[in-house]
A and B are shown apart, each in its own frame.
Chain A
Amino acid sequence: MTVGIGGWGARRKPMALVRALLRTDVTDLTVVSCGGPDVGLLAAAGRIRKLVAPFVTLDSVPLEPHFRAAREAGALQFEEWDESMFLWGLTAAAHRLPFMPVRGGLGSDIPRRNPRLRTVTSPYEDGEELLAAPALTLDVALVHMNRADVRGNGQSLGPDPYFDDLFTEAAERAYLSCEQVVERFTGPPQSLLVQRQNVTGVLHTPRGAHFTSCAPDYARDEAFQRAYVRAAGEPDAWREFEARFLTGDEAAYQRAVEAHCAREGAAR
């Protein structure tokens, strides 16, 4: 199954949905993502067969430890894309086109490392030969919004919509989690990012992007992210992290985070 995950790096990732995915036995995934800890958690659990991404980062921590470890162990296939190729691959899928032409990637090692990439020649006078970014068609998309209604309309109130609308448009089925379910939307019409005809299911998951940021509802939990990075560096510490945070349901996760923060706050 090919799963597209919205957000960007450690920003507005549908982490509650990723944690839900970890509680299933779904595996052998192709993951399409502007990667952050979503990729890290799935890689740590051995669920990713192939990753399609232009980068994986935690923003304030530049390198994602589980992704690094998986790559260095040869534990996943990596299709490394350029960012503009990624945008146009999702757009092609959303428009039901086989590819979109793009300049980015030409001359670099991206096409050399990825033999399925082809070029396309302009039929017009310029005759330019460009990369044909293949459609990133998804079976499932997962995105997290600030607000949604029960019909599947989603509102993004932060400064950046990332590619979340494109993810829902490129997917056969899309699941939208949100901070708040509302009956009526308020705020500027431009913030109504995701449309219900592209959404299969809506889930109410308060703090569902934790520990990534979800502006303006909350910022990234930097202290927790650091704890995650520390735990990822050592097998015993990671088993303990998993046991503490990832064995129960979403409510148990949020309670464990609260308890952890209270304890760390007292220690500070």
Chain B
Amino acid sequence: MTTPGTGSGAGAGTGIGDGTGTVTRAEVCVVACAEAWRGDGEVLAATAGTVPMLGARLARLTFSPRLLLTDGEAMLLSTPEDPASAEGWLPYRKHLSVAARGKRHMMMGASQLDRYGNQNISCIGDWARPVRQLLGARGAPSNTVNHPVSYWVPRHSPRVFVPRVDMVSGVGHDRAAEAGGAAARFHGLRRVVTDLAVLDFATPDHRMRLASVHPGVTVAQVREQTGFELVVPDQVPVTREPTPEELRLLRGVLDRQGTRDREVRG
């Protein structure tokens, strides 16, 4: 639901802003993203995409208060409720230093992901002559060998979850282990949040595992939308719903305009 972003009374009486009303899939996703940063201390929660950005801000306002957040450009936010507030300067070059130092947990996007968490944002098809050129590797190679990385996939499908990525931009568990030494030293993928489920790598050989399905989603649906065989435990929990306080913060403070719903269907 979209409500005007001005006025404290926006959405009054509709459940928006007071933490009541039906929980949307996007809201479940925001909280599942926020959970990626639980237990992280004083590290930069870097994000790509609206839902992870809201998740990082929500985590900071609730269970991970020491997180550092950016305004998406060169400033560190002092209070996530106020995008104009700054507690520090983090231009591009400093951002790379924070990453190299490991004081960062980034949630990136992925055009392709495989069962070991190798990620591709470079191109689709043969790298030498791609069918579809995408962004380029950006900082994915260095992020994945320097600090914790998670992924956000707004549309869980076999086009994204593929047996083998066309170009390894972000390093997966098998490739980090194979390269060994300096590549594996600080490597650690945490979780993958999609519009259907939460996935992680908590298996002996770090293959991707179904950690939970979102309310209303079945295990079969996730399997059907995944292009490789997922590790599926006997009991698959349901992703937790936002608490009333989280809903209040999300709807009434962080995202009064409902931008989260533009990134997640349903």
A binding-site residues for B, Cβ under 8 Å:
8, 35, 53-57, 62-63, 67-68, 71-72, 74, 80-85, 87, 102-110, 113, 128-130, 159-163
Contacts and interface: CB of A to CB of B under 8 A. Distances in A.
B220 interface: no
Given A104-B145, A130-B182, A159-B73, A87 B136 contact: no
Contacts of B130: 71-72
B169 interface: yes
Interface in B143-168: 143-146, 167-168
Interface residues of B, number: 48
User: Which of B89, B131, B135 counts the most chain A CB atoms within 10 A?
Assistant: B135
Contacts of A72: 129-133
A156 B201 CA distance: 44
B141 A105 contact: yes
A103 B182 contact: yes
B75 interface: yes
B100 A106 contact: no
B176 interface: yes
Q: Is the interface of B mostly helix, strand, loop or mixed?
A: mixed
B187 A108 contact: no
Contacts of A105: 141-142
A84 B73 contact: no
Contacts of B134: 63
Given A72-B130, A159-B74, A108 B182 contact: no
B135 A55 contact: yes
Nearest to B142: A104
B183 interface: yes
A107 B116 CA distance: 13
Given A104-B141, A113-B167, A62 B179 contact: no
Given A72-B131, A129-B182, A80 B137 contact: yes
Contacts, number: 134
Contacts of B141: 82, 84-85, 104-108, 110
Nearest to B135: A55
Contacts of B41: none
Contacts of B80: none
B74 A71 contact: no
Contacts of A82: 137-142
Interface stretch (B25-33, B91-99, B204-212, B239-247): B91-99
27 contacts: A54-B136, A54-B138, A55-B135, A57-B135, A63-B133, A63-B135, A71-B129, A72-B129, A72-B131, A80-B122, A81-B137, A84-B100, A84-B142, A104-B100, A106-B179, A107-B145, A107-B178, A107-B184, A107-B187, A108-B144, A108-B175, A109-B167, A109-B169, A128-B185, A159-B73, A159-B75, A163-B93
B181 interface: yes
Given A54-B136, A83-B96, A160 B74 contact: yes
A106 B182 contact: yes
A62 B136 CA distance: 11
A78 to B, nearest CB: 8
A104 B139 contact: yes
Q: Please indicate which of the listed interface residues A107, A109, A160, A162 has the most CB atoms of chain B within 10 Å of its own CB.
A: A107
A135 to B, nearest CB: 18
A54 B135 CA distance: 9
A145 B198 CA distance: 45
Contacts of B168: 107-109
A104 B182 CA distance: 10
A54 B182 contact: no
B123 interface: yes
A160 B92 contact: yes
